[in-house]
Structure 1
Amino acid sequence: MESFLDIYERACARKGSKDILESLLSEPVSKTQLAMLPDDVWLEEFTRKIFQSGFYWSVINAKWPGFRDVFWDFSVEKLLYMSPEMFEQRAQDERIVRNYKKVQSIAHNCLMIHELALEHGTFSKLVANWPEENIIELWLLLKKQGSRLGGNTGPYALRAVGKDTFILSRDVEAYLRAHEVISGGLHSQKSLRSAQAFFNELRGQSGYSLQKLSQLVAYSVGDNVLGVTS
């Protein structure tokens, strides 16, 4: 396995300098900040990532004000009382991308957030306190108890809100396969455990967050333009 320094030096060379590389890396938000977020934020971001999956992100983002109008700003408290018939009706609203199965995921994920919040105080506290060295278990929880949050959808939503997580992007996957960290299915239990162990090792060597390490690995391989994000 390559060391953190090996990966870091190659990424520096590819991006042009250490300063340029560091300017491209970003940090997650603090656990304190995460714990203070309203749970509605999570439902909104889960929904955004579900609708962005397999669709042009720019189109979804352009329609997002309509989504917020149609689904009451993703208020978990309010949406818990929306009937299946109301969700079906909302799925036909021209202000959103009309996809009934994806709209159904809003009701399911709203209930998931509510039920987990009852156990942990808030859903945000659950996420904030989840140990990063076992972040894949949070991915699996979202996949198991949520709707349409498997694959990279759940992790991308976590990253977007600010939870420290690595991402199995195409460049990261290519690196992990090339260095025989993973084999077989990308999201198999074996591959996820191996990827987690790899990033935990780099974290121990560097003190970097999983987010920065994930970005660093991506910048060390794949297509490259000097000084530009990959």
Structure 2
Amino acid sequence: MKYESFDDIYYRACQRKGGEAALESLLEEPLSRTQLAAITDDRFLAQFTKSIFQSGFVWRVIHNKWPAFEEVFWEFNIEKLLLMPNDMLERKSQDQRIVRNFTKVKTVIANAQMIRNIQIEHGSFAQFIANWPEDDIIGLWLYLKKHGQRLGGNTGPYALRQLGKDTFILSRDIESYLRAHNIIEGGLYSKRSLEAIQQAFNHWQSESGRSLSELSRLVAFGVGENTVQA
């Protein structure tokens, strides 16, 4: 596979975003492995839950209600949540302070159990996430989808990005680029497509030394209608 050079991707993004300084101001580096490992595991469960509730919903509503979510779910204390009886979970799902969606509320417990299982094996969920190699970030996506609940598609990756884990995001602009350059065909989340996408980003990372997060934004900035006046 012959990929477009990083320099060409970067130049196009510069042209569309008003120059190099303006472009660089839009980029954000992920956390280091040490920083990621220092995050408490309840924050991972909180972000997974927040991303799940934001999926297919108005993000602003979830953002505004989030302090209530924290209160209702005991600041996502994993040990406490896993001791909660089913009838209490049902009552919490009807709390008017949060978005009352029992299907999504049940993911709090399912994902708390996933985190607990990893704690037992790895010491902490944060350490597990921090140690996962970025050159196989799709492997982490698939792990979360398989062992967690409602973390497939872009939900898991968006949560990881918000937490500071280095990952690309398969936005519409990214998908448009990948198809236009014949990097993928067929389903976006098929095993074949994901492996091809990972290989492309690994290539650009090797060429540029940039993080996956930065590369993802740079590719997205170069396509679609997200232009600004210089």
Specify the TM-score bucket, using the shorter chain as the normaliser: over 0.9
Amino acid paired to 1:163: K
Q: Distance in 1 between matches of 2:33 and 2:211?
A: 13
TM superposition shift of 1:86 = 1.1
Q: Distance in 2 between matches of 1:189 and 1:22?
A: 32
Indicate the residue corresponding to 1:32 in structure 2: 34
Task: Find 1:85's aligned residue among 71, 84, 87.
Answer: 87
Asked if 1:100 corresponds to 2:92, the answer is: no
Q: Could you list the per-position Cα deviations for residues 134-182 of structure 1 after superposition, in whole angstroms to 9, with x for gaps in the alignment? A: 0100000000000000000000000000000000011111100110111
Amino acid paired to 1:16: G
Indicate the residue corresponding to 1:70 in structure 2: 72
TM superposition shift of 1:85 = 1.3
Q: How does 1:31-70 map to 2 (within 5 A)?
A: 31-70=33-72
Task: Find 2:188's aligned residue among 167, 186, 189.
Answer: 186
Contact 1:116–1:122 (8 Å) recurs in 2: yes
TM superposition shift of 1:117 = 1.1
Q: Could you list the per-position Cα deviations for residues 36-90 of structure 1 after superposition, in whole angstroms to 9, with x for gaps in the alignment? A: 1110000000000000000000001111111011000011121111111111110
Indicate the residue corresponding to 1:223 in structure 2: 225
Asked if 1:204 corresponds to 2:206, the answer is: yes
Identity of aligned residues (%): 58
SS in 1 for 2:184: coil
Q: Could you list the per-position Cα deviations for residues 175-197 of structure 1 after superposition, in whole angstroms to 9, with x for gaps in the alignment? A: 00110111111111111100000
Contact 1:21–1:227 (8 Å) recurs in 2: no
Contact 1:80–1:110 (8 Å) recurs in 2: yes
Q: Distance in 1 between matches of 2:93 and 2:141?
A: 27
Indicate the residue corresponding to 1:149 in structure 2: 151
Task: Find 1:21's aligned residue among 7, 20, 23.
Answer: 23
Contact 1:4–1:206 (8 Å) recurs in 2: yes
- Identify if the C-alpha distance between structure 1 residues 83 and 227 changes in structure 2 by more than 3 Å, giving closer, same or farther: farther
Indicate the residue corresponding to 1:4 in structure 2: 6
Q: Distance in 2 between matches of 1:149 and 1:161?
A: 14
Contact 1:46–1:154 (8 Å) recurs in 2: yes
TM superposition shift of 1:225 = 3.0
Count of residues in Structure 1 that have an aligned counterpart in Structure 2: 228
Amino acid paired to 2:213: Q
TM superposition shift of 1:227 = 6.2
Indicate the residue corresponding to 2:115 in structure 1: 113
SS in 2 for 1:225: coil
Amino acid paired to 1:93: D
Amino acid paired to 2:61: V
Amino acid paired to 1:147: Q
SS in 2 for 1:205: helix
Q: Distance in 1 between matches of 2:172 and 2:128?
A: 29
